Amino acid sequence: MDVTFYISAAVAVVATLAVITRYNAVHALLYLIVSLLAVSLIFFILGAPFAAALEAIIYAGAIMVLFIFVIMILNLGPQAARVERIWLKPRTWLGPAALALILAGELIYILISGGEQEPKAGTAVVGANEVGIALFGPYLLGVELASLLLLAGLVGAYHLGRRSGSEGSDSPGSGRPNGEKV
């Protein structure tokens, strides 16, 4: 299990680095998908199969598809890659890299010093049942709040996507969108 963990962790790190350094947006997104899948595998190895599946379904499977969908429609040509190349000067990524280094240092420090006291992850498998019981037991309020938030988002998206000036005969899929009303 340790070997698979290190392999997938390495894949995740390399893929994430590639996300930052690619000039082509779609290629970067593809590396991001690989990185998410590697993280999902790590979840699985650590004994959280439900979280692993959700990571793959929701992040890698749904959200990233929408990202790619949008970028596909933007029709970025070689011009965009050239612009990206100009933007990605060492001076530009110096700041973020320094911040990320600080975070990495903290992580390493915690791993080295306090790793022993922490309860080790991966000792028990957390199945779908446990997750469900936890979500709808002690965290019920959080789940409901999150669903309300999602509902608000849904209504907002519907409002934004609604055609302007078609109050009466609104039958989507029939006819072209009405133009703006004066």
Partner 1 sequence: MYSAVISLITIFGVIIAALSVSAGLIWLERRLLALWQDRYGPNRVGPFGLLQVLADMIKILSKEDWVPPFADAAVFVVAPAAIIVPVLLTFAIITYAPGIAVADLNIGLLFFLAMSSLAVYGVVLAGWASDSKYSLLGSMRAAAQMLSYEVFMSLSLMGVVMLAGSFDLKNIVEAQKGLWYVVPQFSGMLIFLTAGIAETRRLPFDLPEAEGELVAGFHAEYSGMKFALFFVEEYLGITLISVLICVLFFGGWQGPLLPPLAWLAIKTLFFICFFILLRATFPRPRYDQLMSFGWKVMLPLALLNLVVTGGIVLATR
| Residues 76, 122: Cα–Cα separation, whole Å | 43
CB of 170 to partner 1, least distance (A): 12
CB of 173 to partner 1, least distance (A): 4
Between residue 35 and residue 54, which ones bind partner 1 under the rule CB under 8 A?
A: 37, 40, 49-50, 52-54
- Structure tokens belonging to residue 81: 């890659």
Site for partner 1 contains 56 (CB under 8 A): yes
Q: Which residues contact 84 (CB under 8 A, 6 or more apart)?
A: 23, 24, 25
Of the candidates 68, 80, 88, 126, which one interacts with partner 1 according to CB under 8 A? 68
**Helices 25-45 and 64-74 sit at what angle, rounded to 10 degrees?**
180
Place of tokens 């080295």: 112
* Binding residues vs partner 1 (CB under 8 A): 24, 26-27, 30, 33, 37, 40, 49-50, 52-54, 56-57, 60-62, 65-66, 68-69, 72-73, 127-128, 172-173
